[in-house]
Amino acid sequence: MKQDIKSMTLEELAEALSALGEPSFRAKQVYTWLHHGVVDFAEMTNLSKALRQRLSEAFEITAPVVVRKQISALDGTIKYLWRLRDGNCVETVLMRYHHGNTVCISSEVGCAMSCAFCASTIGGLVRRLTASEMLDEVLFTQLDSGLEISNIVLMGIGEPLDNYDTVLRFLHLVNSPEGMNIGMRHISLSTCGLVPKILALAELSLQLTLSVSLHAPDDETRSKIMPVNRRWNVDELLAACRLYFEKTGRRISFEYAMIRDVNDSPETARLLAQKLKGQQAHVNLIPLNNVEESPLKPSSRQTVQRFQQILESEGLTCTVRRTLGSDIDASCGQLRRNYQKTQEKA
């Protein structure tokens, strides 16, 4: 098996090249080619032919293949379904905001977390992505679209903190000045609430934005829609979030998908406000996206507005997420899921 060269840090590459008897500046040359999307050692024209040959014998360069590309006629959102080298597929969404082009990337093929409203978890976890595969989502979205990417959200398929070490490696790569150089403050990571991993992340004091998928302020409701809550409950999760803020000084963004008659009553809003009191928090209300396999339905616009008003009157900052790409299955594992269904039928 050849080694996955794009998952290596610059320092690791320098070590590998020095073992081949090469001077240290070669590592930077190779790293720069890789992070510009070169997929064949033969194209690394500032290296000798002999070295290119030796590298191609020892290493492989990952590159995903576009299986589907959909462009929203409504807002220019682009959704990619990529095929990875083992045949598995993941999706990436490019959203065009005023503050810059943002990619939403996947961290795993499938997901083990079993949230009741989420299409990504149907079929469970297949495998975790490598650091190079996550980097490729950003890199090849930029190259294919011709649009420079300034922000990344880890909110696609998978639970990033379930792939903790590799996600940290990816962050190091994408943040590196010799690579895509995307600042930590331009990166958000979303988790369903793996408490020990939130605590571990807090110790690193990264400047990224942590989003926590809360979706309910009480254990009864949250355990029903998010099985992870049976392992770490709401109070344990919120305590970890407070600690995270104390350590990093970074305000947490709480995601809250509004589900009709499940978590959208005025009493629930008041309980949520009470639970988040004293916490540096921002609440992001997301009208639930319909998933065909699920009986859960979105709350009405009025209900969302009412919920928002209650939170604001209790002193919380709260926004309602704008829906982008609603004409192209642009949310939460839907493109991969629909592609799977067409394959099942065929």
Active site (catalytic) residues: 91, 332
Tell the smallest beta-carbon distance from residue 158 to ligand SAH (Å). 6
Tell the smallest beta-carbon distance from residue 320 to ligand SAH (Å). 12
Among 117, 140, 244, 254, binds ligand SAH (CB under 6 A): 117
> What distance in Å separates the CA atoms of residue 148 and residue 155, rounded to the nearest whole number?
19
- Reported residue count of the chain is 346
72 sits near ligand SAH (criterion: CB under 6 A): no
| Cα of 299 vs its chain's centroid, Å | 25
Q: Name the helix (H) or strand (E) containing 238.
A: helix 234-248
- Closest to ligand SAH by CB, 3 vs 196, is 196
95 sits near ligand SAH (criterion: CB under 6 A): no
Contact window for ligand SAH (CB under 6 A) among 75-83, 111-119, 175-183, 238-246: 111-119
- Closest to ligand SAH by CB, 150 vs 294, is 294
191 sits near ligand SAH (criterion: CB under 6 A): yes
- Closest to ligand SAH by CB, 5 vs 288, is 288
Q: Is the dihedral of CA 44, 64, 162, 177 positive or negative?
A: positive
Answer whether 326's CB lies under 8 Å from 74's CB: yes
Among 339, 323, 235, CA closest to 287: 323
192 sits near ligand SAH (criterion: CB under 6 A): yes
What are the structure tokens assigned to 140, written together? 């090849």
Among 65, 129, 81, CA closest to 340: 81
| Strand ranges (E), 159-279 | 187-191, 209-213, 252-258
Helices and strands (H, E) in the chain, number of each type: 11, 14
Tell the smallest beta-carbon distance from residue 113 to ligand SAH (Å). 6
| Cα of 95 vs its chain's centroid, Å | 13
Answer whether 117's CB lies under 8 Å from 257's CB: yes
291 sits near ligand SAH (criterion: CB under 6 A): yes
213 sits near ligand SAH (criterion: CB under 6 A): yes
Within positions 231 to 290, which residues make up the interface with ligand SAH, using CB under 6 A?
Answer: 255, 257, 286, 288-289
Tell the smallest beta-carbon distance from residue 82 to ligand SAH (Å). 17
Say how many residues touch ligand SAH, by CB under 6 A.
16
- Closest to ligand SAH by CB, 108 vs 136, is 108
**Residues interacting with ligand SAH, by CB under 6 A?**
115, 117-118, 155, 159, 190-192, 213, 255, 257, 286, 288-289, 291, 332
